[in-house]
Amino acid sequence: MRSDLMKKGVKRAPHRSLLKALGLSDEELSKPIIGVANSSNEIIPGHIHLTRVTEAVKAGIRMAGGTPMEFSTIGICDGIAMDHRGMKFSLPSRELISDSVELVAQATPFDGLVLVSNCDKITPGMLMAMGRLNIPSVLVSGGPMLAGSYRGKPIDLVTVFEAVGGYNSGKISESELKEIENLACPGAGSCSGLFTANSMNALSEALGLSPRGNGTVPAVYAERIRIAKEAGKLVMELVKNDIKPRDIVSNDSFFNAVAVDLALGGSTNTVLHLKAIADAFEIDFSIDLFDELGRKVPHICNLSPVGNHHIQELYEAGGIYAVLKRLEGGGLIKGDAMTVYWKTIKEMIESSKVLNDDVIRPLDHPYHESGGLAVLYGNIARKGAIAKLSGVPEKMLYHKGKAVVFEDGELASERILAGDVKEGDVVVIRYEGPKGGPGMREMLSPTAALVGMGLMNSVALITDGRFSGGSKGAVIGHVSPEAAEGGIIAVIENGDTIEIDFKNRRLNLLIDKKEINGRIKRFAEFKTKETNQLLKRYSHFVRSADTGAVFDRL
């Protein structure tokens, strides 16, 4: 056993003495030692209940003959960090979470690992750690929040962001805004739409690295506790048979994850995170797979923020395995990919059924013929940019407009709400990329402001930053190269004409090439003005969004 490095033999008597100081007995030390990474905190609604989930994981480990040892990791709530300086620290936290799990698991040689996660950067950070450590591991999440209800209609966090725009434009009163604020987030769990947290927890199932139901069983259901116990028992089976994450995950696993992502219409952040997870597993994965499959895989689930359904309805319709079953019927997944059950995806979905054809539509009756995400290229995005195609209004699938340029997202939100952006414009928000931000902030507030101001059907937005899974509209993020790396987005000027063609996946600045080259020659090399040491270090090492915003390899 790997844990013998710290517990076996005469030389390890001091180590055993320290372990016994924790209250562990010789019998417990003789069993496999399983690390349990608990990201519980009192900051994030999706993590407020994770201590109970972690206790269930430990119970499952003990039932299967192991000894759990719990340790903690950090977490940031993207919703609370939104639209202020705090968002600069969210994406960097993904690398720190991954590093912290690896540090503890290398210094303490566990035989296996269960990672208890839920929200935006925590789940991908933990999946990255799994790939890097490559010891028997299972990820289990805390599950989604139930949707709120406002005057008989389901609502969620994005409803509140959009209601701010509605209040500023005089469409709703302050008392109505307060009512929505009080009802949108009814309790524990990751925010109830198909935002980044729920997208990533769903994709962990498609990757084969979490138990069945991980992405959809609501946080407050007893089934969530049973799933946590199952995770504890599963890791013991993996330890017994020495099955590691890299034995499970393959190129086919990422193929399946992308197919599911496109069918669901997941957050654009999934492109960033899947690329980073593949890097941790040392698997060659190109974001072009989203474009290739996006032309084959239809969008069959219409979940908030672009549709009226929420994650609890996807759960009731059969969950992620039912989506995989639907895709398998059209030959759109790789059935031989493995799972933590040490069974193939095809074997695992045999018993699955679609229980609601409106929530998970048949392949020949999709919400959209193309998948939910698209990769756009052009002179503005030589290395690609990402759009949530399922959220683009029909009339905005082709748009040509004048640029209105902002150097940061907060100023853009302020000016949109002040009425400075008009119908037909293209909002450009730059120096918000991984290096330029630094930290690649989310642009939920500007996009929600466009919705609230009634401009979603007439105004586009492009940025080298990223979007919350809650964003919708003709919005394009992850523009690469970013402004800080001298990308064309850095030299766009107010009034320039920008052409966006979602159907043909093109994003171009329509000015003379000679003029573009002249502007680039006059472009001053970027030097961050950031004074925070963590962010300065991050800006120095981080690579562009098309790489997953991972660090340079040394």
Q: What is the per-residue pLDDT across 393-443, written as a single tens digit (0 to 9) for each? A: 999 999 999 999 999 888 999 999 999 999 999 999 999 999 999 999 998
User: Predicted confidence band at 317 (pLDDT cuts at 50, 70, 90)?
Assistant: very high
Is-contact 89 534, C-beta < 8 A? yes
Q: What is the pLDDT of residue 408?
A: 87
Angle ∠(232,236,242) on CA atoms, nearest 5: 140
% residues pLDDT > 90 (the chain): 88
Q: How far, in whole angstroms, is CA 15 from its chain's centroid?
A: 39
Q: What is the pLDDT of residue 302?
A: 94
pTM of the model: 0.94
Rounded CA-CA distance 373/363 in Å is 17
Pull the structure tokens for residue 551: 């660090």
Residue 525 predicted with pLDDT over 90: no
How many other β-carbons are positioned within 10 Å of the β-carbon of residue 134?
A: 16
Rounded CA-CA distance 99/361 in Å is 40
Judged by average pLDDT, the poorest of 362-366, 470-474, 486-490 is: 470-474
Q: Which of 468, 471, 480, 539 is catalytic?
A: 468
Q: What is the pLDDT of residue 457?
A: 95
Is residue 250 among the annotated active site residues?
no
Task: Name the amino acid, one letter, at 265.
Answer: G
Burial of 25 (0-12, 13-18, 19+ CB in 10 A): exposed
Burial of 331 (0-12, 13-18, 19+ CB in 10 A): exposed
Rounded CA-CA distance 212/230 in Å is 9
Q: What is the pLDDT of residue 62?
A: 98
What SS3 string covers 313-361?
A: HHHHCCHHHHHHHHHHHCCCCCCCCECCCCCEHHHHCCCCCCCCCCCCC
Residue 7 predicted with pLDDT over 80: yes
Supply the mean pLDDT for the chain: 95
